[in-house]
Structure 1
């Protein structure tokens, strides 16, 4: 498993002023916008030495508060230094007193601006590659991406001494670098568990339709197995090329799972990928099987990330 070997203390992100964030993004120009998600807008930032970084301006109207988003992302990303996890390079958490009008009176309030800066990944997100109109990638590249995502998730679940549950795994949150190495991003919902902790409950259920584990959606139950459910959806889509188009009526993606179970038989895989070598066909079948095991309704029947990696490597 590849990890960054430099000392965490020497690479800790710096707290930079909000004025610096505005300067490097050309005052958050629309031309610099890279994307917009549930937790904020991402802009391209260009440093004085020409280096490009991605600057996320945390959104004010998210279901998760500014403070919570900032704490989730900053703390958990500082703990997760791995080649398959996006790197946090700088941040900004600045509170200033400002005069605003309220009920026809002027009042002084504290206004906090919060930004997170990441390494810039030129190939965008996995959703664009899987379902966009651009270049499609071949099976060996897809298999490499599957393995990379799993290695990143293994590090989150087992590699930091505590358990980090991402809570929002989906194609949009897998970024690709120049060499098509996948990096897990967007930790706005993530939870950090203590060593002895295996699950917690929450009153607030948020996340992407089609990727929500049933026990999380219906009981607010969070565990590493919540991530495994979402990972299963990722594996199925990367392997089949089919898009999970679930909506508010099907938040767990049940219809998509049933469609894959019924349609993606050995015969279909063999006919769809007739030109591929037998070894690649076996890998595709294995990945679909693993994906379907990951999306079992009963979380105890799902594979652990360690078992998934072993199966991908043909060990189990």
Structure 2
């Protein structure tokens, strides 16, 4: 796989970084050295427990189908987002973990969330099995990202925050640029929605959560699956009904996301959103403005 080769060959990682810098207009971000930058990408589980107060509920900053996100504070004060993957996620935990690490570890773009580390470590725990207590090896899968204080686009669009049109336009533009870069790899995200767009302190959008993503071969344009997983209201019809996956799957989701960001009208309310109702609301919003 392309991403596996990038991880194994440092020269390819540099090439990927140069491509990303070019795609983002030549912008680079210089940060002072931190404790995290001196650690290997595979972070010890004990370290992650320490910076999240043992994965304390008080540290929770987000929850989703794939796991719980905690705010981690390193000894030098640096803040990162620590996502502990759930055992009962829509996709097997190991598969979601591999997707994230292999597909985005080497990616660097202003509009794609940065993966700063990961942990896949087993620890012995006492668990109950058939009425008996046994010692078992329990594997914990954890992903660490840059911390984005602006929160999700969903929270900002449909919460108490009222973003002006210029801000929303720049968010749409940033999402499009990030998706264009992701598709150039080529990677299909497969779960583009407001919850998976995170905002930094300057309201710059970052595409996040690559748990369902698919990495294509350079000459590959589509694939098929019988295991359709995603968020109703954002899934492209050809994927939902025929299991067809291509970059067009993301473009459909992007279209819904743009409509939501433009009108501040939420599409996905409940388990079975009505596209007809959503279109009527969007049309009415346009006509009333």
8 Å CA contact 1:12, 1:89 repeated in 2: no
Structural RMSD (CA): 2.2
User: Cα deviations across residues 236-295 of structure 1 (Å, max 9, x unaligned)?
Assistant: 011111111354444xx5224532575355xx2xx52xxxxxxxxxxxxxxxxxxxxxxx
1:80 to partner: Cα distance = 2.2
8 Å CA contact 1:80, 1:155 repeated in 2: no
| Cα distance in 1 between the residues matched to 2:210 and 2:250 | 12
| Cα distance in 1 between the residues matched to 2:209 and 2:227 | 18
| Cα distance in 2 between the residues matched to 1:182 and 1:164 | 18
Helix, strand or coil: the match of 1:141? helix
Q: TM-score, normalised by structure 1?
A: 0.76
1:5 to partner: Cα distance = 5.6
User: Cα deviations across residues 45-91 of structure 1 (Å, max 9, x unaligned)?
Assistant: 00010000000000011121111011111111113211100000111
Q: Matches of residues 140-219 of structure 1 in structure 2 within 5 Å?
A: 140-158=166-184, 160=185, 163-219=186-242
Q: Which runs of 5 or more structure 1 residues have no equivalent in the other structure?
A: 273-316
Does residue 119 of structure 1 match 2:140? no
Helix, strand or coil: the match of 2:71? strand
Residues 89, 170 of structure 1: CA spacing in aligned structure 2 closer, same or farther, 3 A cutoff?
same
8 Å CA contact 1:210, 1:247 repeated in 2: no
Structure with max Cα Rg: 1
Q: Which runs of 5 or more structure 2 residues have no equivalent in the other structure?
A: 1-22, 30-36
Partner of 2:280: 259
1:133 to partner: Cα distance = 1.3
Partner of 2:256: 233
Match of 2:62 among 35, 52, 55: 35
| Cα distance in 2 between the residues matched to 1:175 and 1:182 | 6
> How many pairs are equivalent?
259
